[in-house]
Amino acid sequence: MKPGAGTRAKSARRLGTLLFATGIFALVWAGVTWRFGDPFTALYTRWRQHALATELQHRFLAYAPTTRFRSVAGVNSPWIRRAAAAYRHETHRGEAIGWIRIPRIGLRMVFVNGTDEASLRSGPGRYLGSFMPGEDRMTYIAGHRTTYLAPFAHIDAIKPADRVSLVMPYGTFVYSVTGHRIVAAADTSVLRAGHGDELELQACHPRFSASHRYVVFARLVDVVPATADRSA
């Protein structure tokens, strides 16, 4: 055996063992992230959600009684539109604005105002170019699929006729899912607001990729006045 051959062989075996262990760890980590989301970023979002829930509760309690609507004459009530528009104008980027509930995927989280990187680390966010629930236009909410608690990890499990509720200080808005589309990341056609109170939920697609977006569409079917539902 040549001098130093044994040492090189041992080094090669150690490197092989290290690479094998690294590969196993990567597979396990991918599996955990796929099933449960990234646990490290989840810790941050859990902390933010706790703070946002407290912030939102204060907003609910402080909501001006003069702007609450006492009854609902259909989903297009002018009371609702005025309350929703006023709420949109007084809300700033990153603030907690309501609760989002999607029973099909077990989601109940505070959603925030904005879809910038910092806002989405706190939870699902309303695209600022869209409207608030009740304005008789489109509300567009985006969320992560693999990091920061992955609120929309299972967005592709949502089915037509499923219910999505947005609980706001001025009322609870219940939407019925009508379908979904997968679009290229650069396709902005889904951001165009039509007429009528619509909801769109968006997440990157496929998971671990940002090449496309998975968009769920829903239409408003019911409104519960704020005086009848004040909690999440």
Residue 208 vs residue 127, higher pLDDT: 127
Domain covering 38-228, topology: Sortase; Chain: A; (2.40.260)
What are the domain boundaries of the chain? 1-36, 38-228
pLDDT of residue 27: 41
Residue 29 vs residue 137, higher pLDDT: 137
Reported residue count of the chain is 232
Report the SS3 class of residue 216: strand
Average pLDDT along the chain: 84
Give the model's confidence band at 68: pLDDT under 50 very low, under 70 low, under 90 confident, else very high.
very low
- As a whole number of angstroms, the distance between CA 69 and CA 60 comes to 14
- Cα-Cα-Cα-Cα dihedral sign, residues 168, 172, 177, 178: negative
- In the chain, the DSSP E strands lie at 96-102, 107-113, 125-126, 138-142, 163-168, 171-184, 198-205, 212-225
pLDDT tops 50 at residue 10:
yes
Q: Give φ, ψ of 150 to 5 degrees.
A: 45, 60
Model confidence, pTM = 0.80
pLDDT of residue 129: 95
